[in-house]
Structures are given as C-alpha cells and as structure tokens.
Amino acid sequence: MIFDLTLAQTLGFLLAAFLVTLAPGPDNLAVLSLGLSRGRRAGIGFGLGCALGCFTHTLWASLGISAVLAASETAFTALKLAGAAYLVWLGWQALKSPGAKFSASAHVADATPLPVYLRRGFVANAINPKVALFFLAFLPQFVPAGSEHAAADSALLGLLFAAQTVVVFGLLGWFAGAIGTGLVRYGRRLDQATGVLFVGLGLRLAMESRT
C-alpha cells in the first residue's frame, strides 16, 4: 500500500478543503465577478483554470519548490510581483471593456473563447506564491504522523483538493453566470467593478508578506 491515509482522514480533509475553497478569497471572488459581468463561460472557464492551478501547487509542494519560496525572500518577492502585475493587467482589461452583451437563448454572447478564461485563471492561481505557501502549510496537517509514505499522501491530498476545487469553482461560475444574465443592462458597470476587484487583488498581493 502506497498511502497511509484512512478513509476517515481523507473525508475529514475533503470537508476542510471544501470549507477553505468556499471561504471568500481572491480566486472565488474573481470567479463570481467574472461570472456576473461576462457570463457563465467566463466564470466557469476562469474557475476551472484556478482549479488546474492547484495541481501546479501540488507538484511544487512535492518537488520542494514551495519550501524554497518559504525560505527565500527574493524568490517569494519575484513571484509575488509577477502575480500582482498579472492581476492588475486583468483588471485593466476589464476596466477598458465596453461590457458584455448577453443573449437570452445562449445566456451569454461574450465571444471570448473558453480557453482564454481557462488560461487566465490558471496563470493567476499558478503564479500566486501565497497559494503555494498555503499548500505547504495545509497539506502536512492531514498526513498521518510517522507516515512511511508522506510524499505520496501529500500528493494525493493535493490532487483531491484540486479536484473538489474544480467542482466548487465550476458551480460558482455557473450560478454567477446565471445571475449575470438578469443584469445585462449593467454590463459595463459590472466590468468596471470586476476591473476594480482585480486591480485591488493585485495591489493586495503586492503588499503581502510570507508570514
């Protein structure tokens, strides 16, 4: 057996991961705002991209890269500023957008392809060093003490975390998009609000410390 996790421990981890994912944070706020302003395609795409980014952090934690970020102020700052700049860029794109035009039949007529939002969500999550440090601190708490397969247990927990994030963020994007169809007349203002949110998240990330 390559895992030391019991079913009870795994279910306890999934419950904790679900609550963490639902708690207000940069990713789910971004998913909700994009769903409201740009429709289901944007919300679901960005949310699934963020979830895929969690797979990256699982890999980083397994390879020890997250530990490097925790130990190196320079590495942490460089990645943090790159992530902050990317979020501010996304915010600027939303601020200058003319607003999405919705279709009653298709729910949204935003012509932006789904992979574009998927890529944006992935990059926003993958280059956020705070998420990497979260995985480094969160996963070991659920690995059985004295486990002979700690690395495998951590990898499994990381994969489970990312999998439940796919479900949660996908549903958030879906329902936010459904609500957004009733707010079509406010499309431009919703885009502006989304832009302000992304810029704010970028500035917040830029001022974050490792602790």
Q: pTM of this prediction?
A: 0.69
Which residue has better confidence, 14 or 210?
A: 14
Query: How sure is the predictor about 194, in pLDDT bands with cuts at 50, 70 and 90?
Result: low
Average pLDDT of the chain to the nearest whole number:
77
pLDDT tens-digit map of 38-74: 888 888 999 999 988 888 888 777 676 656 656 778 7
At CA 126, angle to CA 168 and CA 22, rounded to 5? 25
Please tell me the number of Cα atoms within 13 Å of 29 on its side-chain side: 15
Query: How sure is the predictor about 105, in pLDDT bands with cuts at 50, 70 and 90?
Result: very low
Q: Look up tokens 């957008």; give the residue.
A: 97
CA distances from 177 to 27, 28, 99, 102, 146 (A): 16, 13, 14, 10, 46
pLDDT at 103: 42
Is the distance from CB of 166 to CB of 21 less than 8 angstroms? no
φ and ψ of 101, to 5 deg = -110, 120
CA-nearest of 97, 78, 76, 86 to 34 is: 97
The encoded tokens of residue 107 equal 């729910």
